[in-house]
Structures are given as C-alpha cells and as structure tokens.
Structure 1
C-alpha cells in the first residue's frame, strides 16, 4: 500500500507540470512525512493535500482534499477502517473489484477520479525485523502523479468536503526488491486525461505496475515511523550514515 509520503515542490511547478490553467498560489509546499488523517481519542487530525480534478465546465483545476477517502454515507466522519488505498486485483476488472468495496464503489461509478501529486512515498520492507523504511522517488520526472478516487461527504451542520484514496496495484521489480507487495498506480502525462475524463474502460487500462526504471529508492531512518516527525534526516540515505 501507499500510506505515507512527502511533498517538496512549488505550486508553480505543480501547475506547470500538471497543465493547470490559472495563476498558481505563491510559495512552496513542503512536508517531509505525510500520513493520512488519524483519530486521537475523540479528535481527528485531518490531513489535507492537493489533488487535481477535471470537469466539462471548469476544466482542470487543483483542489484541496482530505486523505483518506471519507464515503458520503459516513457524513463527514473519519472511517474506522482503512480507506487510504483502494486495491485493484491482477487479472480482475477493476469495476468488478470495486463493486464489492462499499467505501469506493460510488466514486468509481460516478467517474470521480483525480490525480494526486507526491514528491516521494515511503514503503517498509516486510521481510526485515524491525521493518526497514525506504523512500521511493521518481528517476527523472519532477514529481510522482498517482491515480486517485474521490468522494464528497457532509458532516451534520458542517460544510461538505472532498477526500481521496490512492489506487494500488501489483509492484514492479524495484518494489519487490525492497520487500513490498503493492504499488500505487503511477500515471504518466499522456495518461492523465484518460484517467480524469475517460470512460471506465479507458481508466481501467491504466491500472498497471509502475514502469520499470521509473523509480529509485534508498533506505531512510526509522524515525519516519513516527508520523509527526518532520526532520531533515528523513531525506538522508541511511546507508551513508
């Protein structure tokens, strides 16, 4: 799965790379250790991240969305089950798989698909004890662009908000080599329009492992295990220490 990541880019970079019209906000977006929203006692610490949607009236635009996905029928309440990722299955049509997932099937049926930019994501080697974290980055692209589904939910007496999940698939060789069994669906620029506005059949064809050679990875400190830790140490190669 992809349940942790990082952002280090300017809004201008996002707008240019993702072909978003209009004036980008000023400044940088930098968070070295990003986790989905969490519940602490009775309070929720919400995580809001940039995502891109496209529609016939307003075209392509960037919006803020909560991570993970909050189904509309939960009325704005953070799910007690994991919705950070939506799993696709090899050899099974995604429409069939997602039809059995109540949290996600409405978003898929309504073609509520989005692009979610990340600078990198973290994965943990499932074979090691303690599990070794890795930082996974693009080899040449300025950022990673993941396939997401979004939904809208309205808490009683509050304002509605959008939220997203990342679609996952089988790993490529790199992720297998570092001991992980899933991968986020990574989309190339020529695939973005099909994911955002294509038919369900066109979108399903994009659910494939990341292309070989598109990603690189290095070990990082286990301090990343603490979602609240944001130290520069997270960017260092643990093997060089």
Structure 2
C-alpha cells in the first residue's frame, strides 16, 4: 500500500537525472503531503524519448464513464496486475517511473489511533517507484492517470505494513520503461532490508490538508 508521498527535489534536477524532456506544467516542489487525485511528475518512454510529465494519481480505466465512476485505483498489486482487466494492458505497454523522496504508512495503537510513519531511502537518494499509466477519454474530457505498483512487504518494512511500493534501482529504470527488452515482471519484488529508513512522525499528516517540512520530522 502507498497512499501518500513526498517530493522535495526540483523538477529540473529530476529531468536531468532521468535524461527526460520536462513538461511545462510539472508540480512545484517541495511537497510534503502528496495525496491521491493530485498531480504528480512521472517519467514515461514514448517515441524513443523519455518524458517527465504530469499525471493525476489514481488510475482511471478506459471504460469509466467519469473519473468517479468506480473505485479510486491508487495502487496495483504486482500479483494480479498482468491479469486484472483494469491494469493488464497498461502493465504490458504503459509503464512509468514515479520519482519521490519518501512515502507514508500507518500502524495503529491499542486504541485504534492511526500512527503515521515516514519511509525514505536510507542513503537519501531519490526514490523511484514503479507505476502504470492510462489515458482516459470521454467525449472532449481527457485525463492521464497512474497507479503505483505494490508487492508484499519485505523484511525491512513488514513490521509497519504488509505491502510496500515497488522501488526500482537505476539499472532497472530502462527495463521497467520498456527500453531494455523484456523482464519487467521480475522487478516487482520487495526492496532489500537495508534500503529504507522508517520512523514515526506527527499525526498531523493524517490530514490531507497538512503541509510543511515538519511533517517528516521524527518524533
């Protein structure tokens, strides 16, 4: 599961990192509480070129009559992504990279209170998540959306949640995008135990209106 993200790196730096042509409408950073239905910068590979472009978080299948015609599909399970009608075509032909600096997950205390954790690469390198994307059209309405691919959590994060987003090492970016042939399915696994650093943060992030660097301060 991945339901909130952060992105603090400038769009220009991310475009250079990926060797991608940047769009003009990329979201302004830093952002410390990115939520589903918000715009996010993602990397795609089209016409033999990488593009850093804006998409809405929350995959909208082609048969939806409106963006709210069904469940908000913010995640796609690695175990079923190749067979599920919502995702199978995108899994084959429309994969993307989702740059971030970290993400949030929640546990609960004995009273049922939601306790947020902030999770980010232990070496503070950019986090790159595996995603799939979709162009949705109805009449003149058009929306480009994505979902984050998730897998069963590995030893590093399973004490917090039973699932984690699929994160990709730099040598795997091209394979996930479809530049380097087949084998993307083999990348949909949990990160090594030492990949992430995780710590509790203030519950104020439970509100999707909360903003500011204090959201990722350890408590």
Asked if these proteins are the same fold (TM beyond 0.5), I'd say: yes
Tell me the residue number matched to 1:133.
116
* 1:188 maps onto 2:178 in alignment: no
Q: How many residues align?
A: 218
Q: In structure 2, do the counterparts of structure 1 residues 17 and 73 end up closer, same or farther at CA, with 3 Å as the change threshold?
A: same
Q: In structure 2, do the counterparts of structure 1 residues 52 and 22 end up closer, same or farther at CA, with 3 Å as the change threshold?
A: closer
Task: Tell me the alpha carbon deviations over residues 22-56 of structure 1, each in whole angstroms, 9 at most, x when there is no partner.
Answer: 7988995121111102xxxxxxxxx111000012x
Q: In structure 2, do the counterparts of structure 1 residues 19 and 212 end up closer, same or farther at CA, with 3 Å as the change threshold?
A: farther
| CA positional deviation for 1:80 | 3.1
Tell me the residue number matched to 1:204.
185
Structure 1 residue matching 2:156: 3-state secondary structure: helix
Structure 2 residue matching 1:72: 3-state secondary structure: coil
Match of 1:146 among 112, 129, 132: 129
Tell me the residue number matched to 1:119.
101
Match of 2:45 among 30, 48, 54: 54
1:9-24 counterparts in 2 under 5 A? 9-21=9-21
Q: In structure 2, do the counterparts of structure 1 residues 197 and 76 end up closer, same or farther at CA, with 3 Å as the change threshold?
A: farther
Tell me the residue number matched to 2:5.
5
| CA positional deviation for 1:127 | 6.1
Tell me the residue number matched to 2:30.
30
RMSD, aligned CA:
2.4
Compute the TM-score of the two structures, normalised by the length of structure 1.
Answer: 0.82
In 2, the alpha carbon distance for the partners of 1:99 and 1:172 equals: 21
Larger helix share, 1 or 2? 1
Tell me the residue number matched to 1:230.
211
Task: Tell me the alpha carbon deviations over residues 101-125 of structure 1, each in whole angstroms, 9 at most, x when there is no partner.
Answer: 222122124x100000111100012
Tell me the residue number matched to 1:68.
58
- Which ranges of structure 1 fall in alignment gaps of 5 or more residues? 38-46, 90-96
- Which ranges of structure 2 fall in alignment gaps of 5 or more residues? none
